[in-house]
Chains A and B, each alone.
Chain A
Amino acid sequence: MAYKFPSEEWIAEFGKAINANEEYKRTAATWEGDVVLIFKAEPAIGLDEDFCVWADLWHGECREIKKVTLEEAQKAPFVIMGSYANIKQVFQGKLGPAKATTQGKIKVKGNLPTLVRHLKAIEAMIKCAASIPTKFLDE
């Protein structure tokens, strides 16, 4: 079955995929810090308000993942924001995370050196997202 992206069901699958991924476990072994992903609202495709996902990531493990409000999301130490189309491209592996940020397609708040040091973990996480059977809102 394909999970609607984004949805609470998809998020739950994402958390499971992260915890099942050995590459993520290894490359994120020193990662400490919660990460929020914000899809900007896009009513034309049925995303009426910003959709925010909070992931509690600690030493290669996803301890909790949930949908939160925008207000809560903005408190996270690391925040990744983008339009639905751009985040979808990254999650499909069509747009690299480094290029996406450079071109301004994705905004990143948080300590850049920490993110750079864990780029391989970020890439592993993207592979986890790509592995989930997904039904996109705009398709």
Chain B
Amino acid sequence: MGYDRSLSFIFRCPTKIVFGEGVAGDVGNEVDELGGKRAMIITDKHLVETDLYRQVEKALGRRYVGTFSAVEPDTGVHIVNEGTDTARKLNVDCLVSIGGGSVIDTAKGIAIPLKEGGRLEDYDGFQLLTEPAVPHIAIPTTAGTGSEVTFAAIIKDHQEKRKLVFANTYIIPNVALLDPLMTVGMPPHLTASTAMDAMSHAVESMHTSERIPISDAFALHAIHLIVNYLPGVMEDGNDLLARGQMLIAACIAGAAMSNTHVGLVHALAHSVGGRFGVPHGIANSILLPHGILYNLDACPEIYAAIARALGVDIRGMSDEDAGKKAADAIWELTKKAGLPQKLSEVGVPENGLEEIADLAISDGAIVYNPKPMDPEENLKVLKQAW
């Protein structure tokens, strides 16, 4: 699993990562350290009713000026613009997001026009910002997206029914407070699907054309943590050791992905989600083993390393056989976690596959897949996963 002499890369992970039980209570100090005086919380309508939220609001003390709690799953451009208006009225200089990927991405989105002016849609593109966005402290309540350390915000244009990617190193959150206590209330199904989102980030970050050693190290450890701690956290959602390790796994898988990107699995999952509303983690979970098998001949040695990280005894196996075992191990993990195995089980009609296959060709992730893709090849993978 080597690299050749043409290897050249930039690895970025500027986020200050703070881990431990109760660290969400340090949020006030983190705002001070960032020079913030007026912090707004971004969250959703469920979390705003919880003790977790109230603890963070209390910890912000005099720095707290308001809350924007209108974030929904699959956040939208209109939600971000509404949040930006709220932040402007409150003269906010620091954002604190409490939630999963949708909430954290909303805060990243708000941070852009709040600093640069205008509306979010003015910044549709890649690396367009001219200076760091408004400071942002992310407190994840799920262990999956890794959005607390990534450079992209996925925000849906609900009118056009498509997901937009706002990608910029200036929107990487300044601080991530990884507090296992914040994830304890996650129901088993969400725990499993978000974990598989993290798993897909780790695996895909390793097979992309932009693969680099530092990301590989993060990804391999993330895979190891997920396969070892997901069963425990599924058995006992109050297991704080396992919850914490899952948060770490999601975070480092996110850092890996943010630097080397993702491929076919995410391109298809984004399209499945955008078109048929399949939750991102579920779509990734279903598609991941099929993505491995499809790409197997392009980079079998990488899948052999992944199989080893998954706990497969690969001694005496060819890389190809080990790669197949990696796909098997992922199926075994998702079956045990009670996750759906086929696209047909999650409301994707067979006659919708061609549309997904075509849509995925416009997804940025497809560019980095180890094998070049076109709609016909996408369709082959989708049919296997259906």
Q: Which residue of B lies closest to A103 (CB)?
A: B10
Query: Does A117 lie within 8 Å of B125, measured CB to CB?
Result: no
Partner of A112, one of B165, B210, B261, B368: B165
A107 near B363 with CB under 8 A, answer: no
A102 partner, pick from B124, B164, B210, beta carbons under 8 A: B210
The answer for the CA separation of A102 and B362 in the assembled complex, in Å, is 17
For window 102-130 of A, CB contacts with B under 8 Å fall at: 102-104, 106-114, 116-117, 119
Complex CA gap A107/B123 in Å reads 11
Report Cα–Cα, A113/B210, bound state, in Å: 20
Across the interface, do B127 and A104 meet the contact criterion of CB distance under 8 Å? yes
Q: Return the chain B residue nearest A111 by Cβ.
A: B124
Chain A residue numbers with a CB within 8 Å of B145 are none
Contact flags (1/0) for B363-386 with A, using CB distance below 8 Å? 110111000000000000000000
A7 CB, min distance to chain B CBs, angstroms: 27
**CA A103 – CA B127 in complex, angstroms?**
9
Cβ of A97 to closest chain B Cβ, rounded Å: 9
Given contacts A113-B162, A117-B361, contact A104 B128 (CB under 8 A): no
Residue in A107, A114, A117, A119 whose beta carbon sits within 8 Å of that of B126 in the complex: A107
B361 touches A112 (CB 8 A): no
A107 touching B127 in the complex, CB below 8 Å, given contacts A102-B261, A116-B362, A117-B361: yes
Interface presence of B169 (CB below 8 A):
yes
Task: Determine whether the beta carbon of A108 is less than 8 Å from that of B362.
Answer: no
Say yes or no: A116 contacts B127, CB within 8 Å: no
Most buried by A among B124, B361, B367, B368: B367
Check A112–B127 contact: CB distance below 8 A: no
Pick the residue among A101, A111, A117 that contacts B127 (CB under 8 A).
Answer: A101
CB distance from B129 to the nearest CB of A (A): 9
- A98 CB-CB contact with B under 8 Å: yes
Q: Is A99 an interface residue (CB 8 A)?
A: yes
A116→B361 contact, CB < 8 A: yes
Chain A residues near B128 (CB-CB < 8 A)? 107-109
Q: Say yes or no: A117-B362 contact (C-beta < 8 A), given A107-B128, A108-B125.
A: yes
Q: Which of B139-168 contact A (CB under 8 A)?
A: 162, 164-165, 167-168
Contact (Cβ within 8 A) A116 B125: no
Q: Residues 207-239 of chain B: 1 if any A CB is under 8 Å from the residue's CB, otherwise 0?
A: 001100000000000000000000000000000
| Chain A residue contacts of B125, Cβ below 8 A | 79, 107-110, 112
Residues of chain B within 8 A (CB-CB) of A104 are 10, 127, 168-169
Instruction: Tell me the bound Cα distance from A112 to B165 in angstroms.
Output: 8
On whether the beta carbons of A116 and B368 are closer than 8 Å, the reply is: no
B376–chain A nearest beta-carbon distance, Å: 15
Bound-state Cα–Cα, A137 to B366, Å = 35
Q: Which residue of B is nearest A99, CB measured? A: B210
A74-101 interface code vs B (CB 8 A; 1 in, 0 out): 0000010000000000000000001101
B255 to chain A, nearest CB (A): 15
Closest to A106 in B: B127
Do B367 and A112 touch (CB < 8 A)?
Answer: no
Contacts of B361 in A (CB 8 A): 116-117
**Residue of chain B at shortest CB distance from A95:** B8
In the complex, chain B residues whose CB is within 8 Å of the CB of A109: 124-125, 128
In the bound assembly, the distance between CA atoms of A53 and B345 in angstroms comes to 51
A98 to B260 alpha-carbon distance, docked (Å): 11
- The distance in angstroms between the C-alpha atoms of A117 and B364, with both chains bound, is 9
Q: Are B367 and A98 in contact (CB under 8 A)?
A: yes
Q: How far is the CA of A35 from the CA of B124 in the complex (A)?
A: 15
Residues of B within 8 A of A107 (CB): 125-128
A112-B10 in contact (CB<8A) = no
Which 3 interchain pairs have the tightest Cβ spacing?
A113-B362, A109-B125, A108-B126
12 cross-chain CB contacts under 8 A: A98-B209, A98-B367, A98-B368, A102-B210, A106-B127, A107-B128, A108-B128, A109-B125, A112-B125, A112-B126, A112-B164, A112-B364
Q: Which residues of B contact A (CB under 8 A)?
A: 10, 124-128, 162, 164-165, 167-169, 209-210, 261, 361-364, 366-368
Instruction: Beyond the given A104-B10, A112-B165, A116-B362, please list 16 additional residue pairs across the A-B interface where CB-CB is below 8 A.
Output: A98-B209, A98-B210, A98-B368, A99-B210, A101-B127, A104-B127, A107-B128, A108-B126, A108-B127, A110-B125, A112-B164, A112-B167, A113-B162, A113-B363, A113-B364, A117-B362
